[in-house]
Amino acid sequence: MDNQSQTAPDALIIGAGPSGAVAAKRFAEAGMSVVVLEQGDWPDYSKARANSPDFELTMGSYWSANPNRRQAPADYPIDDSDSDISAVLYNAVGGGTVIYAAHWQRNMPSDFRVRSLDGIADDWPLSYEELQPFYERVEVDFGISGLEGDTAFPPGKGPPLPPAPLGPMGKLVAQAHNRLGWHWWPAPNAIATRPYGPLKACTQRATCMWGCVEGAKSSVDITHWPQNEKLGVRLITGARVKRLETNGNGLVTGAHYVDREGKEIFQKADVTIVCANGIGTPRLLQLSANSKFPDGLANSSGLVGRRLMMHPFGTVVGLFEEDLGSAHGFWGQHLHSLEFYETDSARGFVRGAKWGLQPTGGPLSMTRAYPWGAENSIWGDSFHRDLQHRLNHSAMWGIIAEDLPEEENRVVLDPVLTDGDGIPAPKIIYRMSENSERLMQFHLKQAKESLEAAGASETVVAPLIRETGWHLLGTAKMGSDPSSSVVDPWGRCHDIPNLFIFDGSTWPTSSGMNPTATIAAMALRCAEHLVEQRSHQKVPA
Amino acid sequence: MKIENQERKILAALADVLIPASDDFLSASQAGVANELLDTVLVSRPDLLEGLLKILKDAADKNPQEFMNELRTHDEASYGILTELVPGAYFLNEQVRERLKYDGQSPRPIDPHADYLDDNLLQSVIDRGPVFRPTPALDTPPTSY
């Protein structure tokens, strides 16, 4: 039974991940009433096991990033049988920031001008310079650590906290890159290096992705939502949105959601902002098809769900004689390199990748097929020797490869699969392009050279694995032309003036960076514009 | 579900194929992988139990080395269960942890010394100059949007 008696809040936000958190904060600060629907619950840090001997055994259970493996009540299944990469995400207050590695990378200026500079794909309808003030603001709110002056970016204000230490492995690589003449810089992380607001200082347990027991990682369940609730934001957890409702004027009137008891409730709203990630957002727009919008909401361009980008991910490990202490550290990253980020046509592909230098973890991680590869099996007579060779003596580059938007890579509604409430589940169709494959092979080779120059006695190129679709981008493209984009440059749907999308779905191209910094900055920019234009905003009667 | 002594013997033999003894280290069975540590692991990872019982049933009366070779080449899922469970239990053994000088993911507070300033490391990067392409001027060619 729908509840029609409620008062519509000024803003309804769907999804309590980073974009929803940033938007809710700005709206509340501006005096707007805000309701947020989140299908998950608050993360349960009592399940963080970094203090327990079984940490490595249990890291893939509650904290698994794959919803198909985790199968928590808040999760929806994703059919990835036609995809080269499995999507990974977290359905909870905090969203993907609960389990992200907290690599806080701004996009570079060229990421906003791919068409102009490289003659392919699209430009963004904004520039780095337009987004820069918003990067600086969200970095204060998130408590980012890093160092101003990185030569891979235009000058500007840096993050508020000092960077992670390079540590022994970072120093070896930094020295090697200086000899090679290659870029490196102390890495930006969404990890507090000192106490900062609600964040404690990191203690380098290398458990960042599997439940930070210190409360040092800047996930928005810590940095934003408690404060948002104090500002008056009403956060409803366990609320799975199944459909948005529209009226005869083509405006969204609110959202139908199912609570944990299976009760269907209608939440009214003046404006609705979808922040449900690059899979959840197009899924919801498609689920909301009706007679006025038969192809789904905001889909006159036909692009809702299309142009899915997920960033192929590569890893190269180096083994060193020196004790690097690499069972511990920032996971997170100690330094990054953007030496090969920009296009060089001589390489046979366009665009590039970001590298982040990471520790490798404890002893159980030294035995697994990833990143070591089945051909480097540790078992049998050489077990103890190889284990000691790897444990605390290895460092790895994680490589985020840009993939370009292709309309055939897409999110659709699965004709059979449903979630626990009987709502059609998403299916992803994704193939890695030839450009991406060439790009990855080049970067793996260069990363190997980097570690060899740093003194690695041996290097291992990890097998490409499926469960690396951390970055879900592009499925509701931003642009100025309604025929070739879903939302305008401020996140407003061209077709429905009181429906907005603030998450990574809007990205015209994917960059080769971890996306949370830009997702947060874009959400703040869009929220700021909505606040400024509020007096002109069309709302349902 | 109780694991019988005979099943534990089978597991011990399989585990020693993966982790044999060395001059300095215990074998998997010596470390207790098939005994109390197995029970500990299954409390943490109950999802491994069903697959483990099937493996132990299939391995009865078979040569452990040959059985493991067979699993590795023809039953990746079962091989994955053993290569998670056996070392997972092994690294819970205190003697093994001490020998590895591994005390878990224990805290290592950050040294406030800014090591990136050592040896003038950053100056070399700065001297090489910017490595990004700046935003083209606003009169760039039309874009596709």
Domains located in chain A, CATH noted: 11-46+71-359+393-536 (3.50.50.60)
Q: Is residue B108 part of a domain?
A: no
Residue type (1 letter), B91? F
* CB contact set of A28 (below 8 Å; sequence gap of 6+): A34, A228, A231, A232, A233
Mutate to test the interface with A, among B75, B111, B145 (most CBs of A within 10 A): B145
Cβ atoms of A45 and A210 closer than 8 Å: no
Total domains in the fold of chain B: 1
Query: By the 8 A CB rule, do B115 and A172 touch?
Result: no
Burial A390-411 (b: 16+ CB within 10 A, else e): bbbbbbbbbbbbbbbbbeebbb
Give the minimum alpha-carbon distance from A382 to chain B in angstroms, rounded to a whole number: 9
User: Which residues in B lie closer than 8 A to residue A388 (C-beta atoms)?
Assistant: 100
Task: Give the whole-angstrom CA distance, residue A275 versus residue A500.
Answer: 9
Chain-centre distance of CA A11, in angstroms? 24
Q: How far apart are CA B129 and CA B71, in angstroms?
A: 54
Tell whether B141 is within 8 A of chain A (Cβ): yes
- What residues of chain A lie within 8 A of the CB of B80, using their CB? 369
Inform me whether the C-beta atom of residue B22 falls under 8 Å from chain A C-beta atoms. yes
What residues of chain A, 382 to 401, have a C-beta less than 8 Å from chain B?
383-385, 387-388, 391
pTM flag (> 0.95): yes
Tell me the residue range of the domain where B93 lies: 5-100
- Cβ of A204 and B109 within 8 Å? yes
What is the radius of gyration, based on Cα positions, of chain B? 26
Q: Is B124 at the interface with chain A, CB within 8 A? A: yes
- ipTM of model over 0.90: yes
Residue B96 lies in a domain: yes
What six digits make up the tokens of A140? 């204060």
Among A52, A186, A391, beta carbon nearest to B116: A186
Kind plus residue range of the DSSP H or E element containing B8: helix B5-18
In a domain, B130, yes or no: no
Best of A175, A383, A388 to mutate (most B CBs within 10 Å, chain B): A383
β-pairing verdict for A424-430 and A79-83: parallel
How far apart (Å, rounded) are the C-alpha atoms in residues A228 and A235? 9
> What sign results for the dihedral spanned by CA atoms A478, A479, A485, A487?
positive
Q: What are phi and psi of A192, to 5 degrees?
A: -80, 125
Task: Please list every residue in chain B whose beta carbon sits closer than 8 Å to the beta carbon of residue A167.
Answer: 115
SS3 state at A372: helix
Tally the C-alpha atoms within 13 A of residue B47's C-alpha that lie toward its C-beta: 13
Distance from the B124 Cα atom to the nearest Cα atom in chain A, whole angstroms: 6
B33 close to B3: Cβ distance less than 8 angstroms: no
B73 lies in a domain? yes
Q: Does residue B143 sit within a domain? A: no
Quickly count: other Cβ atoms within 10 Å of residue A104's Cβ: 28
d(CA A233, CA A67): 28
Length of chain A: 541
Joined tokens for residue A379: 């078992």
- Contact residues, chain A, for B18 at CB < 8 Å: 379-380, 383
How far is it, in rounded angstroms, from Cα B65 to Cα B61?
Answer: 12
Contact B143 A116 (CB under 8 A): yes
Nearest to B108 among A203, A384, A480 (CB): A203
Tell me which residue in B114, B135, B143 faces A115 most closely, judged by beta carbons. B143
Min distance B99 CA to chain A CA atoms (Å): 10
Look up residue A213 and give its DSSP letter.
S
Interface test with A, best of B52, B68, B96, B110 (most A CBs within 10 A): B110
Among B88, B110, B129, beta carbon nearest to A57: B88
Instruction: Specify the amino acid at residue B79.
Output: Y
A179: its two tokens: 């000899």
Catalogue the E-assigned strands of A152-259. 185-186, 234-236, 240-246, 252-258
Q: Please tell me if residue B46 touches chain A, with a CB cutoff of 8 Å.
A: no
pLDDT of chain A, 541 residues: tens digit per residue: 445 567 899 999 999 999 999 999 999 999 999 999 999 999 999 999 999 999 999 999 999 999 999 999 999 999 999 999 999 999 999 999 999 999 999 999 999 999 999 999 999 999 999 999 999 999 999 999 999 999 999 999 999 999 999 999 999 999 999 999 999 999 999 999 999 999 999 999 999 999 999 999 999 999 999 999 999 999 999 999 999 999 999 999 999 999 999 999 999 999 999 999 999 999 999 999 999 999 999 999 999 999 999 999 999 999 999 999 999 999 999 999 999 999 999 999 999 999 999 999 999 999 999 999 988 899 999 999 999 999 999 999 999 999 999 999 999 999 999 999 999 999 999 999 999 999 999 999 999 999 999 999 999 999 888 999 999 999 999 999 999 999 999 999 999 999 999 999 999 999 999 999 999 999 999 999 999 999 999 999 8
Task: Name beta bridge partners: A11.
Answer: A34, A271
- Which is nearest to A103 in space by CA: A330, A308, A317? A330
In a domain, B136, yes or no: no
Query: Facing residues of A315 across strands?
Result: A398
pLDDT-derived band of residue B2, with 50, 70 and 90 as boundaries? confident
In A13-159, where does DSSP find H-type helix?
18-29, 55-58, 67-70, 114-118, 128-142
B2 contact A CB<8A:
no
Using alpha carbons, list the distances in angstroms from residue A160 to A135, A245, B3.
Answer: 12, 42, 55
The rounded distance, in Å, linking the Cα atoms of A166 and A333 is: 9
Is the Cβ–Cβ distance between B120 and A171 less than 8 Å? no
Contact, B143 vs A123, CB < 8 A? yes
Whether B127 maps to a domain, the answer reads no
Q: Quick check: A236 and A37 in contact, CB under 8 A?
A: yes
- A364 in contact with B at a CB cutoff of 8 Å? yes
Q: Give domain status of residue B144, yes or no.
A: no
Question: Which single residue is written with the structure tokens 């059919």?
Answer: A79
Strand stretches in A320-409, DSSP E:
335-337, 353-358, 394-401
The token duo for B92 is 């819970």
Q: Would you call B17 an interface residue with chain A, using a CB distance cutoff of 8 Å?
A: yes
